[in-house]
Amino acid sequence: MKVFGIAILSAFTSFPFIAFLFTLPFLIYNYRKFGAIPWLKILVIYSFVLYLLNIYCLIILPFPSSAQARNLHGVKMQLIPFMFIKDFLTETDFDLFNPQTYISTIKSSAVYVVAFNLIMFMPLGIYLRYYFKFSLLKTFFISLGISLFFEITQLTGLYGIYNGSYRLFDVDDLIVNSTGGALGYIIAPIFTFFLPSKNEIDIMSYEKGKHVSVIREIIAWCTDFFIMMTVSLFIIIFFPGLTMVSISLISFIFVIILPIKISGNTIGQRFMKYRTISTKSTKLDIWQIFVRNLLIFYVILPTPLYLFFALMYFCISFSYFYTFVFALAFFILGLMGIAMVIQMVIRWIKDDNTLLFYEKISNTKNISTI
């Protein structure tokens, strides 16, 4: 049991890093397709990732010690199907009509190892039926494929890291694991009958996607900001004589102002499928675009930088008046950024369409194009 505990603890410890790498592609895909992500979908997907990580750690852990690793060579394979039945008959004293043999039978490795492998893959069948809408046959073969991947991992000594396999490649594991996945598929309604269906979750996503969420907008901002930095780099290379203010302004105009004026959205907005419109008229004016995005790209996004510079200047002796002015200016900009970020967080928590500060000032708002 200690081995199982170590494997599960390792899975939970590494999960935040795996989730971090997985999050951005997950957000982009769902926001592009549906425009929103209900909490239930997040819970299902991330619990599925955590489940897969747990069974992977249970398969590969614990690693052999240094002394054991030095003695590894060749491969360990058991290729006789249903050998676990013979092990059960020879290693246990099970007697159906003698209840006293039940406990000792359950404690036998010939029983609990098989039962563990069976139960370990049952949640996979539940996930594949409920969320991914796979058939029983497809669920069986996917369970078989994942089990084969794990067995090959063991057979190859963790993909060649070790000189030989430190676990047994067992064909019975393929049989039991894939059977566990199929059983999970069969009993899935017992666990999912009170949950909305996958189609209902998608409909919820489309309904929520009719308005542009804060996270959806932030992803678009980050995309545009990355493009601005790339354009600025090219300008620096080809026009080294320009000042940083000029370079920043040119990239801002080409990446943000012109695309919105021409088509109503930037590359990032188009990527996340929404556009900016005026709340006062049918036409979006240049000043609206400029004010809105000036606050976004030169106040909100650089907020941490402004606070850092403010702290740095405040730590310097105010021997010169300009140090005080710079410190105060950066501090004010940082406070403005914090205030707008707090307002965004409140809107995100309330999940409503309240206009944000930069939207009220510029008389603009976003509309979804999904």
In the chain, where are the structural domains located?
Answer: 2-204, 211-368
Q: Where are the alpha helices (DSSP H) in the chain?
A: 2-33, 39-60, 66-70, 83-91, 100-107, 109-130, 136-155, 157-160, 171-192, 198-208, 214-238, 244-252, 258-263, 267-271, 286-295, 303-315, 321-350, 357-362
296, amino acid identity: I
The two three-digit tokens of residue 91, written as one number: 């290693």
- The Cα 191–Cα 88 span in angstroms is 31
CB atoms under 10 Å from CB of 172, counted, come to 20
pLDDT digits (tens, 9 = 90+) for 308-351: 888 887 776 556 666 778 888 889 999 999 999 999 999 888 87
Backbone angles phi, psi at 76, to 5 degrees: -115, 120
pLDDT digits (tens, 9 = 90+) for 89-112: 787 777 777 777 778 777 777 778
370, amino acid identity: I
Pick from 167, 128, 161: nearest CA to 144: 128
| DSSP secondary structure string for all residues of 128-173 | HHHTS---HHHHHHHHHHHHHHHHHHHHTHHHHTSSB-SS-EEHHH
Pick from 167, 350, 366: nearest CA to 284: 366
The two three-digit tokens of residue 316, written as one number: 């310097």
pLDDT value at residue 1: 54
- In this prediction the pTM is 0.77
Residue ranges in the chain whose pLDDT is less than 70: 1-5, 316-322
363: left (phi over 0), alpha (psi -120 to 50) or beta: left
